Amino acid sequence: MISRDIRIEHLDERHLANLVRAMDPPEGRGEPEAAARPRKRRSSGLFERLTGAASASADDERDDSGLGAAAEQAKKRPRWRPPVVALTRAGRVLRLFRLGGGTLPRGTLRSADPEDLKRFRRKHELPFVVAVDVEALPRLYSQVQKDVRVDDDMVAQQLAMLRAVRAALDGGEVVVEPRLIGALPIPSYDILQKSFDLVLPDGRSALFYIVDGHRIWTSAIVHKEKGDVSVLTSHRAIADEVELRSIKTDAPRVVEAVTRRYGPVHVGFFVTLHTWHAFVSGDRGAIARALATRTAVLDPCPPWLFALVGAGAVSEAASRSARLAGRLLSRSRFLSSGAGKLVQSMTSPLEVLGVDPWELMKWAQAWSRRVLPLI
């Protein structure tokens, strides 16, 4: 999935920093009506089962995912505090410290028992707590080093690492509270590769632009060859040919420039920052509405992308008005298809993984909120 010879070029730190934080909108962002709507949690069940993120958000963090009543709940989000790590031996706490430095009296935490950890985390309003059995660490390293093979793709290598960590989690040698990756089903590499091939076929490029006013807030351009991402770059790679100042007028020129430079574009995703923040704050219809008002452009728009950003809006719209769906699709090759049938066919790449993309996003967001401040 990632070429050993991948080219990563024409990036800059400001756009890169924005990209890293793209999943975590500033507090209070999101459209008011979305915030006002009662939160209707929709879950495949899978991620709820596996991550505990959904339950953690409901029970503990209130707006852990940021995907519900975003604005109001985001305001209630507790101040981020450094996570705490407990080093243990046979359940006994040897050392307790904050990531970032500073020890805590070890009596503060009774044991590495998940219930104790849960109480401790709640009491101290921590993003997460990790308990690690020090006797297990050499075994964990040894297992990882045994399982990682040099010829494997890096994603396969990471999966091997993840499996070793997962085994340590299952064995109680490492405990993470909340169970952010507690019951994570780790997909096989083959399935991931197949899904990826459906998401972005070989020889094609994908573009992702977020625009703030007349300036690009962040961008990513990827190109895929022989199953692997072979290029990762940004708008700066084509800056000598075209500069995007207006989504409405410049998006097609960007697509053309990328096609000339890297190859045919399979995905073109251009949205405003406002729309993006609303979308990741839980307003599923934000991008669909922006498409209708031409403040977003999805062109080309493969079925999976349409499903991702439009399914909720389309299903609502389809029941009320075929006209809205028509507007949503006005620039895509799905214009003439029936909306319901489209949604059915479009979700296939993600179905291969058995993942609800919204739940995936929720999980990613929960992680980013907990972990990004560490970076």
Partner 1 sequence: MGLCSAAVTSDPPRVCVDPAGQGLRLGGAGGELLPLLAGAMHYFQLPSAVWPRCLDAICELGLEVVDTYVPWGVHERAAGDYDFESANGRFNLRLDAFLDACAERQLKVILRPGPHINAELTYFGFPERIIKDGRCLARGASGQPVIMPAPPRFFPVPSYASERFFEQAEHWLRAVAERVSSRRWPDGPIVAAQVDNELSLFFRTAAYDQDYHPDAVAAYRRWLVARYPDGLPAGYGAVAAVVETADPPRIFDAAGAEQLVPHLDWVAFKEHLVQGALARLGAALREGGLDGIPLTHNFPAGGHGESVGICCAERVVDVASVDLYLLKRDYGAARRAAERVAGSSRLPMLGELGWGGALWWAPQSLEDQLAAALTTLMHGVRALSFYMTVGRDRWYGAPIDERGRRDSARFEATQSLVAAVREAELWSLERDVDVALMEVRELRRLQRVTHLTGPTPPMVLDLFGLGPEELCSDDTFGFASAVQRDVARVERAVCDVLDELGVAFRRVDSDLAPSELACYRVLIVPSFELCDAALLERLASYVAGGGQLVLLPRVPERDMQMKPLETPIPEHVLIDDEDPSEALEELLERLGALPQLRAPEGVDVAHYRRDAESAIFVANRGETSRQVSLDGIELAGRWVWDAITGAPVNPKALHVEARQVRMLRSRPSNTGPVPRQPRPDAAKDAEKVTS
CB of 59 to partner 1, least distance (A): 28
Which C-beta is closer to partner 1: that of 99 or that of 183? 99
Per rule CB under 8 A, is residue 100 in the interface with partner 1? yes
Mark residue 55 as left, alpha or beta (left: phi above 0; alpha: psi -120 to 50; beta: remaining). alpha
Q: Are 342 and 303 in contact (CB under 8 A)?
A: yes
CA distance 299 to 264: 12
- Which of 137, 198 has the CB closer to partner 1? 137
Residue 303's Cβ-side half-sphere holds a number of Cα atoms within 13 Å equal to 17
Tell me the site size for partner 1, rule CB under 8 A: 42
Rounded to a whole number of angstroms, the minimum distance from the CB of residue 372 to partner 1 is 9
Q: Which is nearer to partner 1, 11 or 242 (CB)?
A: 11
Give the span between the Cα atoms of 205 and 230, in whole angstroms.
10
- What is the Cα–Cα distance from 11 to 54, expressed in whole angstroms? 34
7 near partner 1, judged by CB under 8 A: yes
Tracing tokens 């990471």 back to the chain, one arrives at 158
Q: Which is nearer to partner 1, 104 or 352 (CB)?
A: 104
Give 284's DSSP letter. T
Q: How far is CA 320 from CA 15, 282, 313, 315, 325, in A?
A: 39, 22, 11, 9, 10
Residue from 38, 150, 320, 323 touching partner 1 (CB under 8 A): that is: 150
Q: Which of 109, 232, 309, 350 binds partner 1 (CB under 8 A)?
A: 232
The least CB distance from residue 291 to partner 1, in Å, is 30
The reply on whether position 212 binds partner 1 by CB under 8 A is no
Compute the 3-state secondary structure of the chain and give helix, strand, coil in percent, each to the nearest 5. Answer: 50, 20, 35
CA distances from 276 to 24, 267, 296, 330 (A): 10, 17, 10, 20
String of contacts with partner 1 for each residue 71-90, x by CB under 8 A: ----------------x---
- 145 counts as binding partner 1 under rule CB under 8 A: yes
Closer CB to partner 1, 42 or 141, in the complex: 141
Tell me whether residue 57 or residue 233 sits nearer to partner 1 (CB atom): 233
Run of H or E residues at 214: none
Should residue 17 be labelled a site residue for partner 1 when binding is judged by CB under 8 A?
yes
- To the nearest whole angstrom, how small is the minimum distance from the Cβ of residue 105 to partner 1? 12
User: Which member of 36, 90, 191, 374 binds partner 1 (CB under 8 A)?
Assistant: 374
Cα–Cα dist 344/50, whole Å: 25
Q: Cβ of residue 99: shortest distance to partner 1, in angstroms?
A: 5
Of positions 138, 190, 226, 336, contacts partner 1 by CB under 8 A:
138
The Cα 204–Cα 221 span in angstroms is 11
User: Which residues of this protein are in contact with partner 1, per CB under 8 A?
Assistant: 2-14, 16-17, 20, 87, 94-95, 97, 99-103, 132, 134, 137-138, 141-142, 144-146, 148, 150, 154, 157, 161, 232, 374-375
